[in-house]
Amino acid sequence: MRTSESIAACVLLAGAAMASAVMAQPVYPEPLQNVAQISATGSVEVQQDLLSISLNTTRDGTDAGVVQTQLKQALDTALAVAKQAAAPGQMDVRTGNFSLYPRYGKDGKINGWQGSTELVLEGKDFPRITSTAGKIQTLTMGNVSFALSREQRAKVEGEAQAQAIERFKAKASEVARSFGFSNYSLREVSINANDQGPIPRPRMMAMSAKAEMADSSVPVEAGKSTVLVNVSGSVQMK
């Protein structure tokens, strides 16, 4: 009786081992056939509608506290002027970089302090922004740059995306026919968007010229950006 039980146990163990070996064998996916990779781009050129002007100033002195106070006074005065004309979305006002760092002499010791502060005016109302920048007397004109607002980008992004999708579909049909197939089905697709515009154009203005420009607008001219949408993916030719 014991011999029969031993034989049965061995048979069971052998069967389990064979089953494990079969399950352990890797399963390879079937190779893809008649699949084509397609890519298409849609583009829309649009006028930049967001203006950003930065104004700044620097101070230098032997006392860090005095330099910091001078910077704060210049910024506070500029903020008072800017906030009077501020309007959400049309002209937003924010402070930029504020720095204070030591100046070293030839002997490696600190012999003074230098600092700078910045104010940024940004929005869609170009006349309001440029007029306000011309009224600020305690800061010097820095960079002037243009961009697309979120609303403008979203609007034209939809147009560029529709254009890219139609081009993708037309290209997929053309490729399928070229290989002798009558149709195709979409396997996977990805959509990426970005915008390309002119490099921000810096404008500099001397502090001495600010008095002459009081209450006058700073001349600016926006450029255009091209919103690009790329659609790429694979199709199964049928």
Calpha distance 24→161 (Å, rounded): 46
50-147 and 29-49+149-212+223-238 share a CATH fold: no
What pLDDT score was predicted for residue 230?
Answer: 95
**C-alpha to C-alpha distance for 127 and 90, rounded to whole angstroms:** 10
Return the minimum-mean-pLDDT range out of 63-67, 109-113, 198-202.
Answer: 198-202
Place of tokens 């506290």: 65
pLDDT of residue 154: 87
**Average pLDDT over every residue of 147-164:** 90
| pLDDT at residue 121 greater than cutoff 60 | yes
Mutual angle of helices 64-85 and 126-135, in 10-degree steps: 140
Predicted confidence band at 2 (pLDDT cuts at 50, 70, 90)? low
For the cut 80, the answer to whether the pLDDT of residue 209 exceeds it is: no
pLDDT band, very low/low/confident/very high, at 40 (cuts 50, 70, 90): very high
| Winning range, highest mean pLDDT, from 8-17, 21-30, 185-194 | 185-194
- Taking domain 29-49+149-212+223-238, whether its CATH number is 3.30.110.170 is answered by yes
Please report the pLDDT score of residue 81 as a whole number.
96
pLDDT tens by residue, 169-207: 999 999 999 999 999 999 999 999 887 655 444 443 333
Do 211 and 150 contact (CB within 8 A), yes or no? no
Query: Taking the model in full, what pTM does it have?
Result: 0.67
- In the chain, where the domains are located: 29-49+149-212+223-238, 50-147
Q: Residue 82, Cα to own-chain centre: how many angstroms? A: 27
Q: For domain 50-147, give the CATH number.
A: 3.30.70.2970
φ, ψ for residue 89, nearest 5 deg = 85, -35
- Cα separation, 149 vs 155, whole angstroms: 10
Q: At residue 48, does pLDDT exceed 50? A: yes
If you average pLDDT over every residue of the chain, what do you get?
83
The secondary structure of 39-56 as a DSSP string is: EEEEEEEEE--EEEEEEE
